[in-house]
Structure 1
Amino acid sequence: MFFKELTEEAKEGAFSNFPLSQNTINLLTARGIKYLFPVQVKTFQPIYDGKDVIAQARTGTGKTLSFALPLIEKLQSVSQDGRRGRAPKVLVLVPTRELAIQVAKDFKNFTKKLSIACFYGGAPYKEQLDVLKSGIDILVGTPGRIKDHVQNSKLELSSVKHVVLDEVDHMLDMGFAEQVEEILGSSYKKGSENNPQTLLFSATCPRWVYDVAKKYMRAEYEQIDLVGKKTQRTATTVEHLAIQCRSSQRAGVLGDIIQVYSGTHGRTIVFCETKKEANELAMNASLKQDAQSLHGDIPQKQREITLKGFRNGVFEVLIATNVAARGLDIPEVDLVIQCSPPKDVDSYIHRSGRTGRAGRTGICICLFQRREEDLLKQVEHKAGITFKRVGVPSATDVIKASSSDAKKLLEAVPPSAVDYFRKSAEELIDEKGAVAALAAALAHISGAAHIQQRSLLNSTAGFVTMVLKCSIEMHSMGYAWRGLKEQLGEEVDNKVSAMRFLKGKMGVCFDIPVDELSSIQEQWRDTRRWQLSVASELPELEEYPQEAARGFSRFGNSRQGDFKRNSWFKSGNRGL
């Protein structure tokens, strides 16, 4: 079924269906693009025919090329104006410097005949003025810098034929609405038939989009909605996972999550709320991968160097604030991590769009604290997704992923280098034995010599999660406590924490300290009623128990928010 759908998509997007020049087709093919994606299929002809368009499409669907390709073909189909100082025919406004650079790069990748310029704040004015003197066909820029050039009479927009507003909703969020309208006022005359073709692209469509449409677009503009009110608004190729984690454990957990879900050589973007947090996480000792931070306090030149380094694989983990959340089409990002559920659901849509780009499968993991459960559900509801709740990677998961990476590193060592270590290797084998010596080497290479076991329920270090299954449905946790005490004695009260019902209430899961595991396993004997085991993954759980509010459970003395037994049970109120 999937193969059939893919074939149909390829059929609809075949290059032969569109007025694409052979040069453009060659450039597309060279970049591994074999057909146009759905958003490009829907928008190509209306844009090429000169219609005004409002296009609503998910992040990560190939949105930039959906306007770049038809505009390139349109401009290249007429005789070229090669005069020095010529004013741009196309103006593309975007909200951020990084997106401006990316969009300009996409244009340059698919035309060798047209002059593309990119103007944004923080870059020297002189270089941009020199480009204006040379002449421009397509100008990509941020509203602030474009407005500066217009006000200083350095940029003439009266001959612009095509205007693109990309990430319109984000421009509104960043307070650019007034600047955008001032710029548009330089290109549009009320009621004129010669006003530029106007193209608005956005993942969401706030009211301002329609206000702009009414003011500047032709009455018969075309609206293309590839999202729909009831459909999933995030890229469909992204798997959404949620891991409960206390803020104090976040730094330690990140290294394990990246190791298991992305690997040493995969590329990961971590989004956090503050610049301080971004800097702290980038310097976090638990990260085995090289990491750098990206936020508004970093000078523009350094931000460009950082982004280039990430794209080129100089380092594997980019830790960013909102500044990098939109529009950065960094190819083959394996993993996106949100350090907390974003209060703005649109932020999640755009952030998760950094992975699963243009048909690739990606993973987005959202860390959350227990008090943020409602915020997580709000994201699910508004984004039209369902998070799969999983536990933090177990020690076994981390070791497996680390050893796999270490094996690849060993395989990459050239034979000439191996000879230098042959004598030392023979000595180690004599001392430890071949398997033990190689295992120690792999552990050291992988950086996994010191791995902490963590709770699958809340990621706390030094705890292991247990599953206690029951042959009947339980109506109270008191029944589980009684089953535990019958075999493990009263002292189990001080060992068990964070108890939760399994889905269906046919058991519970809970945490115990790692150093208590052997003792409990030795004492415990499974019966027809009860079976106790170590959880290898987070089981599906019931909602948080309401009985906590009625005095059934108390907060743990060392781990706030954990469910433990109290004197209510001891006084004889035993439920079942």
Structure 2
Amino acid sequence: MHNFQQLGLSDEVLKALADLGFSRPTEIQEQTIPTLLFENSDFIGLANTGTGKTAAFGIPLLEQIDGNESFTQALVLAPTRELGQQIAEQLNLFAKYLGKINILPVYGGAAIFNQIKALRQPQQIIIATPGRLIDLIERKAVHLDKLRFLVLDEADEMLNMGFKEDIDKILSFTPSEKQTWLFSATMPHEIRKIVNKYMTNPVEVKADDDANPVNVNIEHQYVVVKQSDKPEALTRFLDFHQDMRGLIFCRTRRDTQNLSDVLQRKNYKVDALHGDLSQAQRDRVMKRFKTHDLQILIATDVAARGIDVDDLTHVFHYTLPDDAAYYTHRSGRTARAGKTGISVAFVHTREKAKIEKLQKKLNITFKKVKIPDSGQIADIRLENWCRQISDRKIAKALPSGVQSKAEQIFENLTKEELIAKLLSHELDKLQLDNSGDLNRASAKKEKRKESRGEKRKFENRKAGTKKSRSGSEETTQNKNGEWHPRFFINLGTRDRMNKHDLMDFICLHAKVKPSDIGHVDLQGSYSFFEVDARVSRKISSNFKNIVLKGGRELRVNRDN
């Protein structure tokens, strides 16, 4: 492996890299940087998240920007505002000694007029999310007619989020003679179509995942726990590892906020990050986390993109992701900068097979661990309570007569008796849900399921037929083994919709909140979406007699 000095970089960039403690390039950086520096060609870089893609394209990009020219020379498209912010921060660090190169991130969720004002100044590099960039182009605040470099970062994620038509529109405003660099973890058919349409004989580089394992120094653990016991199990881990600092991943925005509310009511220093937050709210949460005012962040996968914190000790998968790449991305948030970390997956009995698949696909080993028992947690919580009482400062005088009344009531008790009564009272308030050993509870549930399953198989064999579902409502099971109603809708990307547009459409007509909507599977002429079971009747009843443009009738029905 080369070092950065052997890749042909300028002294200014090498000095910035030394300041950051970068000594040797990752594989994708070693293969990419010389190519982008010295070959005037389009480029495809295939590498997983966490392998150093931003430096791979950012460093050679900065080396070729002319700070004396005032027009926009480079555009980086990113799927989320969080990733856009992270790219801008890293590029500014790499450009520390390069003189005047202006780098501006623009994204939705922030005041557009502030961005327009910033764009009146020369901006050599713009990092943008597709939707906000189109808005700025249409307002004539951004001009791309002299663009020299276009970077599509996490291209597969942009397509998953429904940005294909936005990308087509943006590219129509750029000159044909520019260089296009595309970076992606995977190469699905839709990305190949972009390559064939917009790129000319691109050089293609693929990083060997095995050469750069992203899970080094991480201990992978899992616990088997009933769905209803997950909140209590999580609090026990938080209490047991009081010095931890970490991330908890949930599947939906609603789950993220609900879990945050539960933990906040129990006085844990946590907060949520999800798509329903404004940029100002998100910035406040991140500031509290970076200043250690918060111990834990609870986030969805999309909202967590762009979080750049090096001292995380734990990552909790409150719900396992559907994709192994997301597990890698999540767990890779810990054990950075040579440190160790722990990744804990909460699974129910139906998900044991997913653990086995992750082990095989990612070449990692999961260790089954137990949830701390109620006796251990009671001791810890009582000790914390005693320390809080001991350390408490009396900020103001007590109401007149209160202390003398208390002394009179307690005068016949010894010190030991009073402490015992106070501890007994606090122990009753700890609310361990009378759950005792959660590990035993999940094991019992598993045995009951196996028993019921065997009974059903026997009854089906006896009847000579397979058991079929019945009832007024059909419910679909998602890949995580959880039950959510799933609906079909005859709208998709051909209707110029991305996932956000479709969610807005559903919320408007069904009168539900964005947090009520779960996974959205966007297709060409149709889509599927999951909703919270509590609002499924609204979906069924509110999409009636709606006619789309061109006279097409809107169809929304349960996916059976």
Q: TM-score range, shorter-chain basis?
A: 0.5 to 0.7
Q: Deviations over 1:237-258 (max 9, x none)?
A: 4332221111211111112223
Distance 1:62 1:134 in 2: 30
Once the two structures are aligned, what percentage of the paired residues are identical? Answer: 29
Distance 2:383 2:325 in 1: 36
Give the corresponding residue for 1:173: 160
Change (3 A) 1:431 1:384: same
Distance 1:498 1:548 in 2: 12
Corresponding position: 1:387 with 2:366: yes
Which of residues 226, 232, 237 in structure 2 aligns to 1:257? 237
Give the corresponding residue for 2:178: 195
Q: Deviations over 1:396-447 (max 9, x none)?
A: 77589889999999xxx9xxxxxxxxxxxxxxxx967xxxx9xx99xx9xx9
Which of residues 15, 25, 30 in structure 2 aligns to 1:26? 15
- Stretch of structure 1 that moved more, 365-374 or 16-25: 16-25
Give the corresponding residue for 2:227: 247
Give the corresponding residue for 1:60: 50
Which of residues 277, 283, 296 in structure 1 aligns to 2:261? 283
Which of residues 119, 141, 147 in structure 2 aligns to 1:160? 147
Change (3 A) 1:167 1:362: farther
Distance 1:332 1:273 in 2: 24
Give the corresponding residue for 2:37: 48
Corresponding position: 1:302 with 2:281: yes
Give the corresponding residue for 1:541: none
Corresponding position: 1:92 with 2:81: no
Runs of 4+ in 1 over 6 A off after TM superposition: 399-409, 447-453, 544-548, 550-553
Corresponding position: 1:268 with 2:246: yes
Give the corresponding residue for 1:457: 439
Distance 1:552 1:213 in 2: 51
Change (3 A) 1:546 1:377: farther
Which of residues 343, 361, 376 in structure 2 aligns to 1:364? 343
Q: Deviations over 1:299-348 (max 9, x none)?
A: 22211221232233221111112332434333222211111222344433
Residue type at the aligned position of 1:57:
A
Distance 1:109 1:233 in 2: 25
Q: What residue ranges of structure 2 are gaps of 5+ in the alignment?
A: 392-413, 459-560
Q: Superposed, which structure 2 residues align to 1:330-409 within 5 Å? A: 330-357=309-336, 359-394=338-373
Change (3 A) 1:254 1:288: farther
Change (3 A) 1:152 1:218: same
Corresponding position: 1:73 with 2:48: no
Provide the alpha-carbon RMSD of the alignment: 4.2
Equivalent residue of 2:209, what SS? coil
Give the corresponding residue for 1:111: 95
Equivalent residue of 1:283, what SS? helix
Residue type at the aligned position of 1:87:
F
Change (3 A) 1:156 1:270: same
Distance 2:50 2:374 in 1: 33
Give the corresponding residue for 1:101: 85
Distance 2:144 2:222 in 1: 48
Distance 2:42 2:453 in 1: 58
Distance 1:400 1:25 in 2: 53
Residues 100, 118 of structure 1: 8 Å contact kept: yes
Residues 310, 337 of structure 2: 8 Å contact kept: no
How far 1:121 sits from its partner (Å)?
Answer: 1.0
Change (3 A) 1:277 1:54: same
Residue type at the aligned position of 2:297:
L
Distance 2:102 2:292 in 1: 29
How far 1:104 sits from its partner (Å)?
Answer: 0.6
Residue type at the aligned position of 2:262:
N
Residue type at the aligned position of 2:259:
L
Give the corresponding residue for 1:419: none
Equivalent residue of 1:172, what SS? helix
Give the corresponding residue for 1:514: none
How far 1:269 sits from its partner (Å)?
Answer: 1.0
How far 1:134 sits from its partner (Å)?
Answer: 0.8
Change (3 A) 1:458 1:52: farther
How far 1:214 sits from its partner (Å)?
Answer: 2.0
Q: What residue ranges of structure 1 are gaps of 5+ in the alignment?
A: 1-11, 414-429, 466-496, 501-509, 511-543, 554-576
Equivalent residue of 1:103, what SS? helix
How far 1:385 sits from its partner (Å)?
Answer: 4.0
How far 1:55 sits from its partner (Å)?
Answer: 1.9
Q: Superposed, which structure 2 residues align to 1:404-423 within 5 Å? A: none
Give the corresponding residue for 1:423: none
Q: Superposed, which structure 2 residues align to 1:460-479 within 5 Å? A: none
Q: Superposed, which structure 2 residues align to 1:509-520 within 5 Å? A: none
Residues 166, 201 of structure 1: 8 Å contact kept: yes
How far 1:209 sits from its partner (Å)?
Answer: 2.4
Change (3 A) 1:359 1:459: farther
Residues 61, 357 of structure 1: 8 Å contact kept: no
Equivalent residue of 2:222, what SS? strand
> Which of the two has higher C-alpha Rg?
1
Equivalent residue of 1:126, what SS? helix
Give the corresponding residue for 1:468: none
Residue type at the aligned position of 1:324:
A
- Stretch of structure 1 that moved more, 134-143 or 448-457: 448-457
Residue type at the aligned position of 2:197:
K
How far 1:459 sits from its partner (Å)?
Answer: 6.0
Count the aligned residue pairs. 433
Residue type at the aligned position of 2:312:
V
Which of residues 187, 190, 195 in structure 2 aligns to 1:213? 195
Which of residues 261, 271, 275 in structure 2 aligns to 1:292? 271
Residue type at the aligned position of 1:195:
K
Give the corresponding residue for 2:290: 311
Equivalent residue of 2:64, what SS? helix
TM-score, reference length from structure 2: 0.66
How far 1:233 sits from its partner (Å)?
Answer: 7.6
Equivalent residue of 1:135, what SS? coil
Equivalent residue of 1:304, what SS? helix
